[in-house]
Amino acid sequence: MMMQELPLIAGHFVAARWRERMLDSMALAHYQEQRAQRIVAYVAQHAPFYREHWAGHDVRAWRTLPTVDKQVMMQHFDRFNTCGIQRDTAMRVALAAEQSRDFRPILTGLTVGLSSGTSGHRGLFLVNRAEQAGWAGTMLARTLHDLRPRRLRVAFFLRSNSNLYEQIGGLLLQFRYFDLMLPLADAITQLNHFRPHIVVGPPSLLAMLAQARISGMLQIGPERLISVAEVLEPHDRTQLEQVFGVPVHQIYQCTEGLLAISCQQGALHIQEDLVVLQCEPLAQPPSEGDTTEELRVTPVVTDLWRTTQPIIRYRLNDVLRLDARPCRCGSAFRVIQAIEGRCDDICYFEQRTGGLRPFFPDTLRRMILLADACITDYQVLQTRVGQMEVYLTLAADADWAAVEVRVQASIEQILAHYDCLAAHVTIEQGILASTVGSKRRRVQCRVVV
Ligand SMILES: [Zn+2]
């Protein structure tokens, strides 16, 4: 099967490289508009859900069509896709794959997958072979950059594999999937044997590998690390780069599409020839050291390629910070300065003047990490407005009592600075255990505002 797809994948590889180099901002806008018109016309004809959803709207004005989101997609799954696949059938195939850990299920020629949702809302995705080949070719074109061409060994840590990933293997790459559920000691042994050039995984896993590298158990010397699936915070990135002495790149991808990939310079570029991100500004939050060049937004995604499960004006629940500065690499694709987390994880504090003030995950991170250099990791949990539970791990020689005082003071000071009432803050030692294989979320808000 794979051999048949080779020319397709190679074609997408070349096309992706070409577009990246040739599309300046004018050409890009034209390109997006053309593809969007085509895909929207196709979807209006083939996806019953969208047809009804857009009733009474001019589909040519696609930028203002009514939005959808994960809930809507899952609720109307059967008519949301263009192949008439029932949600129950797709779910059964995907769950069976999860249980057997055999990720080659195909449903009438389509690949079915389950996304690793963080909130219990797991997304189902469907892709056909052409889409799969397009994904593989583009992914290779955009992630390998300047790595010397040879048969690169790639270790890929994922919660679940998919034949989406398997397909990349065997081409330019020797690709090995590592189950995130694999005990760390076993993963280390296998990695030492495999000696990967590239390690791909969630930053929480990469951090464990860094610890193993420091202790001498892990002996690999990868040329690049790629962070996926979780928020990569700046201090994690710095630590990983220090331990391994190589760049850490990112792939920002979800059920809704391949949204952004780091360029050679390490800047995270929106893949604007694959998706259109219409960015809606969020209330500008209080954050020390923010520059006016950075704007917090939440994206509405339109995938310019996918026809099996079309993603048109899909509201994504993520908080992004855009960088207005052009990248040194010369690409016209916009740069994401940071993916801060989910809109759900914005915490709220009461203002002196009444009303609530949102604090974004990044602000909370600064509040805590900048309070004391001994803090090695943290978590924040808010279960009601004005309250906050902080969990910390400290360097071995740290003075717990002193750190506690400093963190309390930092939180108090920053809340006061932004005109908020003092919060009820508890600080505890040790990070909350998370379920194996689940995504790490350092900031969690469980308040419904
Ligand atoms: Zn760049």
Tell me how far the alpha carbon of residue 376 lies from the centroid of ligand 1, in angstroms: 30
Query: Nearest to residue 426, comparing CAs of 375, 390, 393?
Result: 390
Question: Which of 311, 343, 375 is the last residue in one of the domains?
Answer: 343
Query: Nearest to residue 35, comparing CAs of 310, 351, 368, 376?
Result: 310
Q: Beta-carbon neighbour count of residue 23 at 10 Å?
A: 19
Is pLDDT above 80 for 53? yes
Tell me how far the alpha carbon of residue 326 lies from the centroid of ligand 1, in angstroms: 8
Span 355-378, pLDDT tens digits: 888 888 888 888 898 898 889 889
Q: Look at residue 293 in the predicted model and tell me its pLDDT.
A: 42
DSSP-assigned letters across all residues of 17-55:
HHHHHH--HHHHHHHHHHHHHHHHHHHHHH-HHHHHHTT
Specify whether 313 is located in the same domain as 283: yes
Tell me how far the alpha carbon of residue 260 lies from the centroid of ligand 1, in angstroms: 11
pLDDT band at 38 (very low <50, low <70, confident <90, very high): very high
Tell me how far the alpha carbon of residue 330 lies from the centroid of ligand 1, in angstroms: 6
Per mean pLDDT, which range of 173-182, 318-327, 381-390 is the poorest?
173-182
Is pLDDT above 90 for 137? no
Tell me how far the alpha carbon of residue 191 lies from the centroid of ligand 1, in angstroms: 30
| Dihedral angle over CA of 136, 209, 227, 322, nearest 10 | -170
Is pLDDT above 70 for 252? yes
Tell me how far the alpha carbon of residue 194 lies from the centroid of ligand 1, in angstroms: 31
Tell me how far the alpha carbon of residue 277 lies from the centroid of ligand 1, in angstroms: 17
Tell me how far the alpha carbon of residue 269 lies from the centroid of ligand 1, in angstroms: 6
Question: Which of 286, 319, 343 is the last residue in one of the domains?
Answer: 343
More confident residue, 379 or 182: 379
pLDDT band at 130 (very low <50, low <70, confident <90, very high): confident
Specify whether 367 is located in the same domain as 297: no
pLDDT band at 3 (very low <50, low <70, confident <90, very high): low
- Distance, CA of 102 to CA of 357 (rounded, Å): 47
Tell me how far the alpha carbon of residue 95 lies from the centroid of ligand 1, in angstroms: 38
Highest mean predicted confidence (pLDDT) among 42-56, 119-133, 278-292, 340-354: 42-56
Specify whether 295 is located in the same domain as 359: no
Specify whether 287 is located in the same domain as 146: yes
What's the token pair of residue 429? 């030692």
Span 273-287, pLDDT tens digits: 999 999 998 865 545
Tell me how far the alpha carbon of residue 19 lies from the centroid of ligand 1, in angstroms: 14
Report the CATH number that the domain containing residue 176 is assigned in CATH: 3.40.50.12780
Tell me how far the alpha carbon of residue 318 lies from the centroid of ligand 1, in angstroms: 22
Tell me how far the alpha carbon of residue 128 lies from the centroid of ligand 1, in angstroms: 30
Average pLDDT of the segment spanning 288-301: 70
- List all residues 6 or more positions away from 264 whose beta carbon is below 8 Å from its beta carbon: 145, 146, 329
Specify whether 306 is located in the same domain as 436: no
pLDDT band at 242 (very low <50, low <70, confident <90, very high): very high
Average pLDDT of the segment spanning 159-170: 61
Q: Look at residue 436 in the predicted model and tell me its pLDDT.
A: 59
Tell me how far the alpha carbon of residue 199 lies from the centroid of ligand 1, in angstroms: 21
Is pLDDT above 90 for 56? yes
Specify whether 5 is located in the same domain as 127: yes
Is pLDDT above 60 for 226? yes
Specify whether 20 is located in the same domain as 109: yes
Report the CATH number that the domain containing residue 360 is assigned in CATH: 3.30.300.30
Tell me how far the alpha carbon of residue 328 lies from the centroid of ligand 1, in angstroms: 6
Is pLDDT above 60 for 118? no
Tell me how far the alpha carbon of residue 240 lies from the centroid of ligand 1, in angstroms: 20
Tell me how far the alpha carbon of residue 338 lies from the centroid of ligand 1, in angstroms: 14
Q: What percent of the chain has a predicted confidence (pLDDT) above 70?
A: 90
Tell me how far the alpha carbon of residue 274 lies from the centroid of ligand 1, in angstroms: 16
Q: Beta-carbon neighbour count of residue 26 at 10 Å?
A: 9
Tell me how far the alpha carbon of residue 429 lies from the centroid of ligand 1, in angstroms: 39
Neighbours of ion ligand 1 (CB under 5 A): 263, 265, 267, 327, 329, 331
φ, ψ of residue 151 to 5 degrees: the values are -80, 90
Tell me how far the alpha carbon of residue 384 lies from the centroid of ligand 1, in angstroms: 40
pLDDT band at 168 (very low <50, low <70, confident <90, very high): low
Average pLDDT of the segment spanning 281-299: 66
Specify whether 359 is located in the same domain as 337: no
For the chain, the farthest-separated pair of C-alpha atoms sits apart, in whole angstroms, at 66
What's the token pair of residue 387? 């309250």
Specify whether 87 is located in the same domain as 201: yes
Q: Mean pLDDT of all residues in the chain?
A: 87
Tell me how far the alpha carbon of residue 332 lies from the centroid of ligand 1, in angstroms: 8
Give me the domain span that covers residue 410. Answer: 346-445
Span 299-344, pLDDT tens digits: 999 999 999 999 999 999 899 999 989 999 999 999 999 998 888 7
Is pLDDT above 80 for 160? no
- Distance, CA of 222 to CA of 209 (rounded, Å): 12
Q: Look at residue 6 in the predicted model and tell me its pLDDT.
A: 75
Specify whether 280 is located in the same domain as 395: no
Q: Look at residue 169 in the predicted model and tell me its pLDDT.
A: 59
Span 388-447, pLDDT tens digits: 999 999 988 899 999 999 999 999 999 999 899 999 999 999 988 776 567 788 888 888
Tell me how far the alpha carbon of residue 13 lies from the centroid of ligand 1, in angstroms: 18
Tell me how far the alpha carbon of residue 262 lies from the centroid of ligand 1, in angstroms: 7
Q: What percent of the chain has a predicted confidence (pLDDT) above 90?
A: 53
Which of helix, strand or coil describes residue 95? helix
Question: Which of 309, 324, 343 is the last residue in one of the domains?
Answer: 343
Tell me how far the alpha carbon of residue 196 lies from the centroid of ligand 1, in angstroms: 25
Specify whether 324 is located in the same domain as 196: yes
Is pLDDT above 70 for 294? no
- List all residues 6 or more positions away from 161 whose beta carbon is below 8 Å from its beta carbon: 101, 103, 177, 179
Q: How far apart are the first and last CA of the chain?
A: 50
Q: Is the dihedral of CA 282, 286, 287, 289 positive or negative?
A: positive
Structure-token match 């009432």, residue found: 421
Tell me how far the alpha carbon of residue 261 lies from the centroid of ligand 1, in angstroms: 9
Tell me how far the alpha carbon of residue 233 lies from the centroid of ligand 1, in angstroms: 19
Specify whether 326 is located in the same domain as 357: no
Query: Nearest to residue 270, comparing CAs of 288, 251, 248?
Result: 251
Q: Look at residue 241 in the predicted model and tell me its pLDDT.
A: 97
Q: Look at residue 1 in the predicted model and tell me its pLDDT.
A: 43
Q: How many domains does the chain have?
A: 2
Relative to beta strand 224-227, strand 248-254 is parallel
| Dihedral angle over CA of 238, 240, 241, 243, nearest 10 | 120
